[in-house]
Chain A
Amino acid sequence: MAKNDLIGGALWDAYSKKVSERMDNPTHLGVLTQKDADEKNAKLIVADYGAESCGDAVRLYWLVDENDVIIDAKFKSFGCGTAIASSDMMVELCLGKKVQDAVKITNLDVEHALRDDPDTPAVPGQKMHCSVMAYDVIKKAAGLYLGKNAEDFEDEIIVCECARVSLSTIKEVIRLNDLKTVEEITQYTKAGAFCKSCIKPGGHEKRDYYLVDILADVRAQIESEKLKENISKENNGELSFADMTMVQKIKAVDKAIDENIRPMLMMDGGDMEILDIKNSSDGYIDIYIRYMGACNGCASASTGTLFAIEGVLQEKLDPKIRVLPI
């Protein structure tokens, strides 16, 4: 939540100029017929996605030549301003591409192309589903052209029947956008926005897949992949101290102390142990330690010895480390 979020109703202000312009004057609006296809010796593809009852529907027309290139494209759309603008941009991105390449266009490509500047989203979060729909209709059209059953082509298991959102779309959108909540999935895909049966068990209709489970699975996968990547980086010595897991951090600190500090302390009959490691709010990494043996009560434990320990850890691991004896 930010100060500006406290005042509602700014939805339209969050649309980019490109979205507004395309809403007012869509450039690729229209219909392509068999006659158009025959004149250009091309194949006509007409794909529908969504439904009026869901609040969004789009129809995509392609003329594809013998080299699989989309030589002309038009659309029609039932939807809000962003749905119309996204459909228009989606058509533009398809034009001139081979079908096999067009199918790689994602909702993010559509949304990015609608931005006025690269860092500001073209539409607010709850409108992302409109660009996702544009992405889905391309897959549908490509499925039709390539002679595949659209369902096979899209690896379709429909999770949300109301918004007709597939398992693969949901998984992909979670990954691409690093989504963390079911509400975000709904914002991006519309899945779960209507009868809500697909959100979690206990709705009026039993489902094979629920958004909460899909989210948990994908998040677990993402985390496990991160961990694997982390370990492999660690093995290659590429992992920075800040990116380590807590266990890795403790091990690294222990190792640095064993190799560089402990022998020095033990020579004087002392020792130390690590109590905790915390990221402080001012950007430091605080390592809490306890002195043992002769170090306990030694006059230099809070001066020279401490600076030596801190200096070694800063040099070996991270310059942001602070050592705090307790």
Chain B
Amino acid sequence: MQKRIYLDNNATTMLDPSVKSLMDPFFCEHYGNPNSLHKFGTEIHPALHDAFNKLYEGINAADSDDIIITSCATESNNWVLKGVYFDLIATGKKNHIITTDVEHPAIGATCRFLETLGVKVTYLSINKDGNISAEQVKNAITEDTALVSIMWANNETGLIFPIEEIGAICKEKGVLFHTDAVQAIGKIPVDVQKANVDFLSFSAHKFHGPKGIGALYIKKGKELTPLFHGGEHMRGRRSGTLNVPYIIGMGEAMRIANSYLDYENSTILKLRNYLEDELLKIPDVVVVGDRKHRVPNTTLISIRGIEGEAMLWDLNKAGIACSTGSACASEDLEANPVMVAIGADKELAHTAVRISLSRFNTQEEIDYTIEVFKKAVERLRKISSSYEGSL
């Protein structure tokens, strides 16, 4: 049987089997609606309380803060931006949002939509290290700034942004601060109090929880017009019947992810670095971003002379799943936006392949990947018109 090696964990992750086994009874046995008064509803409450405890503990939220369950981080991100629009911008109080030009489309596309409604948005560009400095944020804040929304870690490069410093600046300036922590949870410690965030989004399927469930942390006292109006679920903040098994799964996945943080930052980090070191032995290969400032699982690697999708094609044939933001693999034609933003080498913008590991990857898999990579590079550089070394 052909090998199947999954190295696209920044896109989604495998559901941890132990998370699944905790979820299972809540599909067919304990299926009551937790808002019901009868036993079918109330018997679920202990498990739900337990799940919420794990989520609160997981990001160090205070008891008085809210963690509202959403369908995914995209919903959470939309909610923050549109909620701020309704609360501060549509009412004429403020009219400015600061974000970066390397955010997930759930932020980028929503900001562009809000611009059509008259909102002013500043898109900070990452510097040549692929990062955003707190100073940049400070300089962009004006009297009119309602919200700063900056991701905790970048999905493409894995680079960690200085969220604590940015949080301190926003607090000092009295500006709301949101962070999309989708790529940070389960990879590095995430502490909402230490980082001074008002809103924080995450998604369960990025840390071995189920797909289709996420959450939004809302600091105590922060108003946010609901995105969904309806019944009184979650005290009216987000209506819709609770997705009980998935909430239980997300809580457990969060607990396990945090218990594996040391493993991620030692064993997985070593595995990632080993992979990188071996691939860097291939001539004309570049890895984006300093290791010291990256989450432990991610490598964005550029192989001169080989278009990203062509590389993915060969890897896929060998059973290895990676990803590329390069032109031809995605459904639009843009080059990898982070590579473009870094601006270090325009020639490399279409050659990036993202490899993202998880705690389920093994040394054997990485050895096989290195072997396949080398063969693919050799084959594709023979085809390449732009890699003269192949001639």
Contact = CB atoms under 8 A, between A and B. Distances in A.
Contact of B313 (A23, A58, A59, A76): A23
A81 interface: yes
B331 interface: yes
B384 interface: yes
A53 B346 contact: yes
Contacts of A84: 310, 383
B172 interface: no
Nearest to A124: B331
What's the dominant secondary structure at chain B's contact region? loop
Interface in B369-387: 382-387
Interface stretch (B104-112, B203-211, B321-329): B321-329
A190 interface: yes
A247 to B, nearest CB: 38
Interface string A267-306: 0000000000000000000000000000000000000000
A137 to B, nearest CB: 10
Nearest to A49: B385
Interface of A: 8, 11-12, 23-24, 26, 29, 31, 48, 51-59, 75-84, 126-127, 129-130, 186-187, 190, 193-194
Interface stretch (B245-253, B293-301, B332-340): B332-340
A8 B310 contact: no
A80 B334 contact: no
B331 A11 contact: yes
A76 B384 contact: yes
A193 B333 contact: yes
Given A55-B326, A57-B385, A80-B327, 5 more contacts: A29-B382, A55-B327, A79-B328, A84-B383, A126-B332
Interface residues of B, number: 31
A80 B391 contact: no
Contacts of B326: 55
A75 B385 CA distance: 8
A53 B331 contact: no
A190 B331 CA distance: 13
20 contacts: A23-B310, A29-B382, A52-B351, A55-B333, A56-B307, A56-B327, A57-B386, A76-B390, A78-B385, A79-B307, A79-B310, A80-B308, A80-B309, A80-B328, A84-B310, A84-B383, A126-B332, A190-B333, A193-B333, A194-B334
B332 to A, nearest CB: 7
B349 interface: yes
B382 A12 contact: no
Contacts of B331: 8, 11, 126
A129 B333 contact: yes
Interface string B306-321: 1111100100110000
A278 to B, nearest CB: 34
B54 interface: no
B339 to A, nearest CB: 11
A12 B313 contact: yes
A81 B376 CA distance: 13
B307 A55 contact: yes
Interface in B33-65: none
B237 interface: no
A9 B351 CA distance: 19
A198 to B, nearest CB: 13
A127 B307 CA distance: 14
B94 interface: no
Interface string B178-217: 0000000000000000000000000000000000000000
Interface centre among B349, B390, B391 (most CB of A within 10 A): B349
B305 interface: yes
Contacts of A127: 328
Nearest to A23: B313
Contacts, number: 90
Contacts of A80: 307-310, 313, 327-329
A26 B383 contact: yes
Given A55-B307, A193-B333, A81 B313 contact: yes
B272 interface: no
Contacts of B309: 80-81
Interface string B352-377: 00000000000000000000000000
B387 A53 contact: no
Contacts of B385: 48, 57-59, 75-78
B333 A52 contact: no
Contacts of B384: 76-78
Most chain B CB atoms below 10 A, which of A53, A57, A78, A187: A78
B333 A29 contact: no
Contacts of A8: 331
A96 B206 CA distance: 55
B383 A77 contact: yes
Nearest to A163: B333
A48 B388 CA distance: 13
A12 to B, nearest CB: 7
B391 A193 contact: no
Nearest to B390: A76
A11 to B, nearest CB: 7
B332 A83 contact: no
B347 interface: yes
A55 B313 contact: no
Closest 5 CB pairs of A and B: A80-B328, A76-B385, A193-B333, A55-B327, A55-B350
A117 B335 CA distance: 32
Nearest to B316: A12
Nearest to A53: B346
Contacts of B346: 53
B386 to A, nearest CB: 4
A248 B65 CA distance: 70
A23 B313 CA distance: 9
A129 B317 CA distance: 24
A23 B306 CA distance: 13
A56 B306 CA distance: 10
A78 B305 contact: yes
Contacts of A53: 346-347, 349-350
A325 to B, nearest CB: 47
A190 B350 CA distance: 14
A187 B328 CA distance: 11
A129 B307 CA distance: 15
B310 A29 contact: no
Nearest to A193: B333
Nearest to B340: A194
